Amino acid sequence: MAEKSILECSKLLAKQGLTIAFAESATAGWLCSEFALAPESGKILKGSIVCYDATLKQSILGVPQSLIEQFTPESEEVTREMARRLPSIIDADIYVAVTGLTTPGGSETEQKPVGTMFVHAYYLSEQLKFRKVFGGSCEDIIHQTVQAVANMIINRLKQNEN
């Protein structure tokens, strides 16, 4: 069963006739998997590209190597570029990209510790984004990120109802 926030988000997407697609790095397909568990998945979910390794961000999505080298694979800039390039692969109304640090050994620093997650989304022509630092295990960090993404989308979609 999908998380409560995913179920709410999926209902809102279906009610508004919107579809969603993902470019996932640190969440490694978990976002897509959660949305696939919702009863509305066939109406709203287009799919996900999992680009865990930086070379896949380049080869699949076309993120420039220079951008990755300048800002690191886990950065706001690379996440935005992943979301911006996703429409060339998947046709949807909402595009969500995620990068971040769920375990040690990446580009973590004092300013960007393990647990730092970047999300960038395009809702039609509007941009939604966040940078948050979550705590706990790798699984905890991913779970919190999935919840935060769903809540970000829910909050935006509720604006359409007012």
pLDDT of residue 106: 82
Between 68 and 2, the more confident residue is 68
pLDDT digits (tens, 9 = 90+) for 62-106: 999 999 999 999 999 999 999 999 999 999 999 999 999 999 988
pLDDT confidence tier of residue 1, bands split at 50, 70 and 90: low
- Among 9, 88, 76, which residue's Cα sits nearest to residue 44? 9
pLDDT confidence tier of residue 124, bands split at 50, 70 and 90: confident
CB 123 within 8 A of CB 85: no
Task: Report how far apart, in Å, the C-alpha atoms of 63 and of each of 56, 103, 111 are.
Answer: 9, 23, 24
Does the pLDDT value for residue 3 go beyond 90?
A: no
Task: Report how far apart, in Å, the C-alpha atoms of 15 and of each of 10, 40, 70, 111, 124 are.
Answer: 8, 10, 41, 40, 16
Rounded to the nearest angstrom, the gap between the alpha carbon of residue 118 and the centroid of all alpha carbons in its chain is 8
pLDDT of residue 125: 83
pLDDT of residue 153: 97
Domains of the chain: 4-154 (3.90.950.20)
Residues 6+ apart with CB under 8 A from 130: 118, 119, 148, 152
pLDDT of residue 105: 85
